[in-house]
């Protein structure tokens, strides 16, 4: 990874069940890829799937409304 591309990434700690970790490792080995690359691909696919998921979008809207109410409480200093 070049210095330029590493500046655009974020390190994260991921804890996996040992059997899932073994399966991810197996996928990476069979495909000749790094575990990080396989996990990045899986996460990107999940995030893209959620973009078209109506239930997720509804939950996102509900969370946004709740956070807007909280922000208003803090800004206004209301009890």
pLDDT score recorded for residue 77: 67
In a domain, 24, yes or no: yes
Inter-CA distances, 47 with 7, 16, 19, 74, Å: 22, 18, 23, 31
Q: What does pLDDT average to in each consecutive run of 10 residues of the chain (79 residues)?
A: 65 95 98 97 95 92 88 76
Determine, yes or no, domain membership for 6: no
pLDDT at residue 57, rounded to an integer: 92
- Can you give the pLDDT at residue 1? 46
Predicted model pTM? 0.69
**H-type helices in 3-79, by residue range?**
3-6, 18-31, 35-51, 54-76
pLDDT at 72 (0 to 100):
86
On whether residue 41 sits in a domain, the answer given is: yes
Domain holding 32, by residue range, is 14-76
Instruction: Report how many domains make up the chain.
Output: 1
Residue 3 inside a domain? The answer is no
What does the pLDDT read at residue 66?
A: 86
In a domain, 5, yes or no: no
């Amino acid at each position: 990874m070049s210095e330029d591309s590493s500046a655009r990434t974020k390190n994260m700690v991921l804890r996996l069940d040992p059997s899932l970790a073994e399966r991810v490792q197996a996928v990476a080995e069979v495909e000749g890829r790094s575990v990080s690359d396989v996990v990045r691909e899986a996460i990107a696919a999940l995030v893209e799937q959620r973009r078209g998921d109506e239930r997720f979008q509804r939950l996102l809207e509900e969370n946004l409304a709740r956070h807007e109410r909280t922000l208003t409480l803090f800004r206004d200093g209301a009890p």
